[in-house]
Amino acid sequence: MITILFNIANEVLWLYQWAVILAALFNMLAQFGVLDTRNRIVWSIGDFLYRITEPALRRIRNVVPSFGSIDISPLVLIFGIYVLQQILQRIYAAIIYGNVSGLFL
């Protein structure tokens, strides 16, 4: 049962990481005029990506200093997701295999 929970948590983090990547690419392509956001389908996809990623990105933007027009908050969020995945894997190993020393390495 615990394996299923950790696998679900890992997959959700993986999917959210891809959502952040897609949202950053979508935003960049829309700003350069490659994507026409007046199209209803394109707008719906962009709105969905914005709604699921913006709450986390907004918190990071409030903390990370501004670099002009360069937004590094998606990179910070992807790194944070990676760190969280590593922590989850170590906790899982500690619970399943009894490897408590692996938590602190």
pLDDT of the chain, 105 residues: tens digit per residue: 888 999 999 999 999 999 999 999 999 999 999 999 899 999 999 999 999 999 999 999 999 988 888 889 999 999 999 999 999 998 888 888 877 766 666
Question: How far apart (Å, rounded) are the C-alpha atoms in residues 30 and 7?
Answer: 34
CB atoms inside a 10 Å sphere around CB 19: 15
Question: How far apart (Å, rounded) are the C-alpha atoms in residues 48 and 53?
Answer: 9
CB atoms inside a 10 Å sphere around CB 58: 10
CB atoms inside a 10 Å sphere around CB 38: 7
Q: Is the dihedral of CA 26, 27, 31, 37 positive or negative?
A: positive
Question: How far apart (Å, rounded) are the C-alpha atoms in residues 105 and 85?
Answer: 15
Its pTM stands at 0.86
